[in-house]
Amino acid sequence: MAERARSDRPGAGTPSAAADMPLVRVTDLARYFDVSKPWLNRVLEREPRQVLRAVDGVSFDIPRGKTFSLVGESGCGKSTVARTVVGLYRPTKGQVFFEGREISRFDSRQEMRPYRSRIQMIFQDPYASLNPRWRVKDIIAEPIRAEGKLSGKAVDARVGALLKQVKLSPSDGMKYPHEFSGGQRQRISIARALASEAEFLVCDEPTSALDVSVQAQILNLMKDLQRQLSLTYLFISHNLAVVYHVSDWVGVMYLGRLVEWAEKRTLFRYPRHPYTRMLLDTIPDIDMTGRERAPVAGEVPNPINPPSGCPFHPRCPHANDRCKAELPRSLPTPEGAHVACHAVEEGRLPAEKRDYAVPKMGA
């Protein structure tokens, strides 16, 4: 694995940068939003304050150089986790640790500075993530200029090198974003993230808005870059097949909580949590094994008024009274997974193995 010279980076080389410690650790992360109506309306309509608990107690580790994916349906809070980890939101509760140091509660931009450039984000919408009035070379150069180490021609050279690294041409720097397709814009976003020499990239559904063949190109590129530059990814997606392809570790979220997280193969082949199993059963059967998708009960409830106890209990075939009253804790399993489920804890839910069809392409 290529090692980059990081001895000149602030915060590096400290005892906490040991190889066995996870690069990123999230503990009991919570982020609430106040979605109450304006004060006057509340008084007139006699409504209470309403708080949206988008993320409510999420903990996981991301090892250096690996990809951790968060997967789930709408309202599960995975995007909020991404934005809180990267620093766009301040957590309501809990901490985010980077190389052993808590980075989620800095009071000023000065304190965050040593870490700011090392953690970057790739956004979902390729059309809104680049300023339409700026040339591409200025967009990519902005983090370099903000760091202040290079200037003039050196900056241009670095921008050209970054464009080549994402398989675009250096002359593309003179163009404006609207002259590029969605896939190319994502490449530019990736180049911008790399420009600040980020080690940890949070990717919020980076390929969801792209065509399938373009998605393949971008995912391949991301994997290549990970290998070349020892990058660590937090990958958010709703697409389980993409998650299977890119991840080393996978976490499943439901209504603001992490119901299960494990190494990829463990999660996909031996899913423990009833929601994980349900999710895996509802994926379209592209391999045409003839598997009928299991009819699923209900829809994801409104996150503003989540059910009591375990949030999944209204849709869960194994729910009992304890599930309705008590929130399950996240407990380790023998296979190295973490599952938050009473039925699993009580041994009511036997392990199951899932098989997936072998490659489908004929002669």
State which of positions 189-208 bind other proteins (CB under 8 A).
189, 192, 196, 208
Q: Which of 2, 5, 40, 358 binds other proteins (CB under 8 A)?
A: 358
Q: Which of 69, 84, 104, 117 binds other proteins (CB under 8 A)?
A: 117
Residues 6 or more apart in contact with residue 39 via CB below 8 angstroms: none
Q: Could you say whether residue 335 binds other proteins (CB under 8 A)?
A: no
297 burial (CB, 10 Å; 0-12 / 13-18 / 19+) is exposed
Give the footprint of other proteins on residues 146-185 (CB under 8 A).
Answer: 146, 175-176, 178-179, 181-183
Interaction residues for other proteins, span 206-225 (CB under 8 A): 208-209, 211-217, 219-220, 223
Q: Minimum Å distance from CB 216 to other proteins?
A: 4
DSSP conformational letter for 330: P
Q: How far is the CB of 312 from other proteins (least distance, A)?
A: 12
Can you tell me which of 286, 305, 350, 353 binds other proteins, judged by CB under 8 A? 286
- In terms of CB distance, is 63 or 182 closer to other proteins? 182
CB 279 within 8 A of CB 259: no
Closer CB to other proteins, 120 or 330, in the complex = 120
Burial of 45 (0-12, 13-18, 19+ CB in 10 A): exposed
Residue from 15, 48, 148, 284 touching other proteins (CB under 8 A): that is 284
Output the CA torsion sign for 129, 132, 134, 136.
positive
- Find the binding residues for other proteins in span 242-271 (CB under 8 A): 242, 244-245, 268
> Rounded to an integer, what distance in angstroms lies between the CA atom of residue 64 and that of residue 232?
6
Q: Interaction with other proteins in 56-115: which residues (CB under 8 A)? A: 73-75, 86-88, 109, 112-113
Tell me which amino acid residue 285 is.
Answer: D
**Which is nearer to other proteins, 181 or 308 (by Cβ)?**
181
Q: Is 108 left (phi over 0), alpha (psi -120 to 50) or beta?
A: beta
User: Which C-beta is closer to other proteins: that of 15 or that of 284?
Assistant: 284
Which of residues 28, 102, 111, 299 is near other proteins by CB under 8 A? Answer: 299
CA dist., res. 295 & res. 267, Å (int): 21
Cβ distance 361 to 293 under 8 Å?
A: no
CA contacts within 13 A on the Cβ side of 223: 12
Which of the residues 9 through 28 are near other proteins (CB under 8 A)?
none
